[in-house]
Amino acid sequence: MRPAKRNCENNYSISSIGMDAFNKEVLGESRPVLVLCMHRDSEFQEQTDVVEGVCRTYGEKLKAFLMDEEFIGAFRENFEVKGTPTFMIFIGGAEKGRMLGQTDQKALEDFVSRTLSLDQEGK
């Protein structure tokens, strides 16, 4: 089953992802993956717009996924997510960074940049 996609500018898309595809699409991906774990509440659209902005900045260097609403409970338990929204970066199947709480595009870009830089230094 393919993840549902939302269209972004520059033909980049953020996909919703469920349990079926998570291992392959996130843990099995070699490039960095930004995952947004968030319930569909009044702040959801604003936070997905922030993620889309980061996608435009990083282009094909970064994949991004939104957790399917049905998968959020299991995901939170498996990854010890304490609240939402939670932004996580996975690289090579391992979690490399996590940010909790609402954010703006600059703060999320700084988080992604810092996490990617730390991962490169650690190699």
Give domain status of residue 113, yes or no: no
Report the C-alpha gap between 104 and 4 in whole angstroms. 24
Boundaries of domain holding 9: 5-99
Give domain status of residue 123, yes or no: no
**pLDDT tens figures, 76-118:** 999 999 999 999 999 999 999 999 999 999 999 999 999 999 8
Outline where DSSP puts E strands in 18-112: 33-37, 63-67, 86-91, 94-100
Nearest to 116 by CA among 12, 33, 47: 33
Tell me the two tokens of residue 118.
Answer: 């730390």
Report the C-alpha gap between 62 and 64 in whole angstroms. 7
CATH number at residue 18: 3.40.30.10
pLDDT of residue 116: 93
> Nearest-5° angle of CA 67, CA 69, CA 74?
75
